[in-house]
A = this chain, B = another copy of it.
Amino acid sequence: MTDTIAPSPSVPAAFQPIAPVLPSRGALRPLGLDGVRLTGGLWGDLHQLNADVIIEHCYGWMSRIGWITNFDRAAGVAGGAHDGIEFVDSEVYKLLEAMAWELGTRSDDLLEARYRDLVQRIGAAQEADGYLHTSFGRESQRPRYSDLEWGHELYCFGHLIQAAVARLRTGHDDDLPAIARRLADHLYREFGPSGRQAVCGHPEVEMALAEFGRATGDARYVELATLLVERRGHEQLQTTLYQGHEYFLDDLPVRDATVLRGHAVRALYLSSAAVDVAIENDDDELLAAVQTQWANTVARRTYITGGMGSHHQNEEFGDDYELPADRAYAETCASIGSVMLSWRLLLRTGEPRYADLIERTLLNGIFVSPREDGRAFYYANTLHQRTAGEEENASGLSERAEATLRAPWFEVSCCPTNVSRTLASLPGYVATSDDAGIQLHQYTPMELDTTLTDGQRVRLRVSTHYPFDEKVVISFSSDLESPITLTLRVPAWAVHTAAATLNDEQVAVSGASVAITRAFQQGDVIELVLPLEPRFTWPHPSIDAVRGQVAVESGPLVLALEDVDLPDGVTVDRVTVDTSVAPTRTSSGAAVSLRVHPPHATDWPFGAMESSAGAPLEADLIPYFRWANRGPSTMRVWLPESDQL
Q: Does A606 lie within 8 Å of B539, measured CB to CB?
A: yes
On chain B, the residues within 8 Å of A400 by CB distance are 241
Q: Does A544 lie within 8 Å of B325, measured CB to CB?
A: yes
What is the CB-to-nearest-CB distance from A169 to chain B, in angstroms, rounded to a whole number?
34
Q: Does A321 lie within 8 Å of B606, measured CB to CB?
A: no
Q: Does A241 lie within 8 Å of B319, measured CB to CB?
A: no
Judge if A615 is at the interface, Cβ distance under 8 Å. Answer: no
Cβ 8 A contact of A640, one of B298, B300, B312, B541: B541
Q: Does A540 lie within 8 Å of B605, measured CB to CB?
A: yes
Please report whether the interface of chain A is mostly helix, strand, loop or mixed according to DSSP: loop
Judge if A609 is at the interface, Cβ distance under 8 Å. Answer: yes
* Distance in angstroms between the alpha carbons of A638 and B299 in the assembled complex: 23
- A1-38 CB mask vs B (1 if < 8 Å, else 0) is 10000000000000000000000000000000000000
Chain A residues 531 to 548 lying within 8 A of chain B, measured CB to CB, are 537-548
Judge if A597 is at the interface, Cβ distance under 8 Å. Answer: yes
Find the B residue at minimum CB distance from A579: B609
Judge if A399 is at the interface, Cβ distance under 8 Å. Answer: yes
Judge if A263 is at the interface, Cβ distance under 8 Å. Answer: no
On chain B, the residues within 8 Å of A299 by CB distance are 601-605
Q: Does A542 lie within 8 Å of B319, measured CB to CB?
A: no
On chain B, the residues within 8 Å of A638 by CB distance are 544
* Distance in angstroms between the alpha carbons of A516 and B400 in the assembled complex: 59
Judge if A244 is at the interface, Cβ distance under 8 Å. Answer: yes
Cβ 8 A contact of A544, one of B311, B545, B603: B545
Q: Does B412 lie within 8 Å of A241, measured CB to CB?
A: yes
Judge if A549 is at the interface, Cβ distance under 8 Å. Answer: yes
Cβ 8 A contact of A386, one of B321, B384, B537: B321
Judge if A320 is at the interface, Cβ distance under 8 Å. Answer: yes
Judge if A130 is at the interface, Cβ distance under 8 Å. Answer: no
On chain B, the residues within 8 Å of A600 by CB distance are 540-542
Judge if A318 is at the interface, Cβ distance under 8 Å. Answer: yes
Cβ 8 A contact of A607, one of B298, B324, B537: B537
Judge if A295 is at the interface, Cβ distance under 8 Å. Answer: yes
What is the CB-to-nearest-CB distance from A181 to chain B, in angstroms, rounded to a whole number?
35
Q: Does A547 lie within 8 Å of B601, measured CB to CB?
A: no
Find the B residue at minimum CB distance from A319: B386
Q: Does A548 lie within 8 Å of B547, measured CB to CB?
A: yes
Judge if A573 is at the interface, Cβ distance under 8 Å. Answer: yes
Judge if A585 is at the interface, Cβ distance under 8 Å. Answer: no
Q: Does B549 lie within 8 Å of A544, measured CB to CB?
A: yes
- A273-302 CB mask vs B (1 if < 8 Å, else 0) is 000000000000000000000010011101
Q: Which residues in A have some Cβ–Cβ distance to B below 8 Å?
A: 1, 85, 241-242, 244, 295, 298-300, 302, 304, 311-313, 318-322, 324-327, 353, 384, 386-387, 399-400, 402, 411-412, 492, 537-549, 551, 573, 597, 600-610, 638, 640, 644-645
What are the 5 A-B residue pairs with the smallest beta carbon separation, nearest first? Answer: A540-B605, A548-B548, A312-B313, A547-B548, A538-B609
Beyond the given A241-B412, A541-B600, A547-B640, please list 12 additional residue pairs across the A-B interface where CB-CB is below 8 A: A241-B400, A241-B411, A244-B399, A295-B603, A298-B603, A298-B604, A299-B602, A321-B573, A538-B607, A539-B605, A541-B597, A541-B645
The 27 sampled A-B contact pairs (Cβ below 8 Å) are A1-B603, A242-B399, A295-B603, A298-B603, A299-B601, A299-B602, A299-B604, A311-B313, A312-B312, A321-B573, A322-B326, A322-B327, A324-B324, A324-B326, A324-B327, A325-B544, A326-B545, A537-B606, A538-B609, A540-B600, A540-B602, A541-B645, A544-B638, A547-B547, A547-B644, A548-B548, A548-B644
